[in-house]
Amino acid sequence: MSSTQQRLPQSSGFRHTIFLFFVILAMLYVVYSSYLLLYKDRQCITKVDNLDFLTNMSTLFHLNDEQDQNSLEPILFPQKAQTYSTEVKHIVFGIAASANLWEKRKEYVKTWWRPRETRGIVWMDRKVRTRRNEGLPEIRVSKDTSKFKYTNRQGHRSAIRISRVVSEALRLGLKDVRWFVMGDDDTVFVVDNVVRILSKYDHRQFYYVGSSSESHLQNIYFSYSMAYGGGGFAISYPLALELAKMQENCIQRYPGLYGSDDRIQACMAELGVPLTKEPGFHQYDVYGNLLGLLGAHPVTPLASLHHLDVVEPIFPGMTRAKAVEHLFKSIRLDSGSIMQQSICYDSKRYWSISVSWGFVVQIWRGVVSPRELEIPTRTFLNWYRKADYKAYAFNTRPVTKHPCLKPFIFYMISSKYDRPKKQTVGVYYRHKSRAPYCRWRMESPEKIASVVVVKRPDLFRWQQSPRRDCCRVLPTNKTSTLYLWVGKCRRGEISELKQQ
C-alpha cells in the first residue's frame, strides 16, 4: 500500500472535524440571530398593538362625537339617583326664638309646622305663655350661658345661647334622628323640600348643609364658608355628636364673633368639615320686594325663606304672615315645584312669559331671552344701604325704565287639584297697577285679566338631573284669559319663539 493511500483516511477525518465545527458555529449564529429577531418583533408588535389600540380608541371617540352630533334624540342612561330614604320623622328642627318677638313670629311657624308629624323644639331665652292646640312645637328654655365670654360690641350675647341649640337638642336623647335642622323663629321651611335635599346625603357621614348670604359684603364680613342660620342649615347626627363633645371649649375660643352661625362655622372649621352648599336655603339679606328673587328662583328645591319681617309681603295687599299662608296653598299641592321657573313665548302676540309656579306669572312685550329671564330683577335692595348692585353674591339685572319693556304681573289668587285630570289648576290675577303708555303697535298684555296655569305634579323631579320645566300657551277663545300648560319638557323641546 502506498503512502498516499495511507494519508487519505487521516485527511478526510480532519476535514470532517472542520466541517462539524463550522456547522456548529452556523447553528449557534442562527439561534442567536433568531433570538434577536424575535425580541425585536415583540417590541414592534407591542408598539403596533399600542398604536392600533390608540388609533381604534381615537376612531371610536370620533365616531361617538359624530353620532352625538348627528343623533336627533339624546342618549339617556337609566340611572336612579342615590337616596338614603330620609323621611320627616328622621329630622329634628331646632328653632331659635326670642320671648319678646314670639307672639308675632309664631304665626310664621304655624304656616309650616305639621303637628304630630314634624319633630322639633323652640328654644327660648325665658318662659313664655303657651296655649293648647295652637299647632306649635314644644317650647323649652335654653340653659344658662353666662359663663361664656362675649366681647362683640355690635352683637348680642344671645348668639352664644342660639349656637348651642343643636347640642342641647342632641342631649335630649331623641330616637331615630338622622339630621338636626336649625332656623330662626322668622324662618319658614318647606319641609318636604328639606327632606328631598337631605335625602341626597349619607346621614351616617359628617355633613354641614346650608347656604351663604345674598349679600356679597355679608359673606366677606363673615364667611362664604358659613351656613347662615336664618336661612337654616342641617347637621348630620354623627357630626352633631362630635360638635357636642367640643363645642363648650370651642365657644370659649371665639368670644369676639358676632352671631351664632359664625360660631358654629368656627367649630366646623376646627372639626375640618366644610360647608355643603344647597342654594335652596335662603337667608334673604335684602330689603324691599322679593318678586325679582322669587320670580327667577334657581333650579333647586325651595327649602326656606327668612327675614320675612324685613321685606315686603310676598303677596301684595296681605299681611306678611297671611301672604306666607297663602303661598302654602300651592306648596301643599306640589311642594317640589314651588317657585320653579318656566319660560315660554306667545308666537302670535309676540310675548315673553315667565311662570314662577305657585307664585307669579310675568308677561313682557317682545322677545326676552331665557338667558336674561333667569337672572333676578333688582326689585330688592342690598342689606347695606350704601351698597350698589355690584354687592350681591349672584347676577342681577336692573328694573327697566322703558314703559314698553315693563312686565305685566299676575299673582296667584287660587290653587286647587283637579282629581279627574290629575293636575293642579292655578289662577293668577293681574296686579292692580296702571299700565304704562307704550307706542309699540304690538298687542298689549294689559288686555289679559287672568292667567290659568295647569300642571301635573311631579313627585320625582328632584331625583333626576335639574332642569327647568317647559311651558306652552294653550289655545282659547277668551280674550281676557291666558291659559298655560307647565310641565316636564318633551325631547327636543326648548324655550324659543317659534316663527309663524
pTM of the entire structure?
Answer: 0.82
pLDDT given at position 33: 61
Residue labelled with grid coordinates 342641647 = 168
User: Radius of gyration over alpha carbons of the chain, in Å?
Assistant: 36
Task: Give the C-alpha separation, 185 to 442, whole Å.
Answer: 48
Residue 37 reports pLDDT greater than 90 = no
Q: What is the pLDDT of residues 38-97, one digit of tens each?
A: 444 444 434 434 434 333 433 333 434 444 343 334 434 344 456 679 999 999 999 999
- The backbone torsions φ and ψ at residue 96, rounded to the nearest 5 degrees and listed phi first, read -85, 125
- Residue 134 vs residue 266, higher pLDDT: 266
Question: Given this model, what pLDDT does residue 81 score?
Answer: 52
pLDDT at 313 over 80: yes
Give the residue among 259, 265, 118 at the shortest CA–CA distance from 184: 259
Q: How far apart are CA 420 and CA 436, in angstroms?
A: 41
The CATH architecture to which 88-283 belongs is Alpha-Beta Complex (3.90)
- pLDDT tens digits for range 202-245: 999 999 999 999 999 999 999 999 999 999 999 999 999 999 99
Among the residue ranges 25-34, 153-162, 478-487, the one predicted with the least confidence is 25-34
Give me the mean pLDDT over the 4-21 stretch: 56
SS3 295: coil
Looking at residue 192, its pLDDT comes to 97
Q: What is the pLDDT of residue 12?
A: 58
Give helix 320-331 / helix 102-112 axis angle, nearest 10°: 10
Residue-level length of the chain: 500
Residue 449's pLDDT band (cuts 50, 70, 90):
very high
Distances (CA, A) of 89 to 115, 166, 176, 234, 301: 12, 17, 8, 15, 20
Q: What percent of the chain has pLDDT over 90?
A: 76
Contact criterion met (CB below 8 Å) for 116 and 88: no
Share of the chain above pLDDT 70, in %: 84
d(CA 100, CA 103): 8
Chain mean pLDDT for the chain:
87
Q: What's the DSSP call for residue 218?
A: H
Q: Where are the domains of the chain?
A: 88-283, 334-487
State which fold the 334-487 domain adopts: Cation-dependent Mannose-6-phosphate Receptor; Chain A (2.70.130)
Strands (E), 329-468: 341-346, 351-356, 360-365, 380-382, 408-418, 423-430, 450-455
Q: Which range is least confidently modeled, 164-168, 338-342, 432-436?
A: 432-436
Q: How far apart are CA 157 and CA 147, in angstroms?
A: 11
Closest CA to 393 of 211, 185, 207, 167: 211
Q: Provide the 3-class DSSP secondary structure of residue 370.
A: helix
- The single-letter DSSP state of residue 151 is -
pLDDT-derived band at 13 (thresholds 50, 70, 90) equals low
Looking at residues 443-468, what average pLDDT do you find? 94
Strand, helix or coil for residue 375: coil
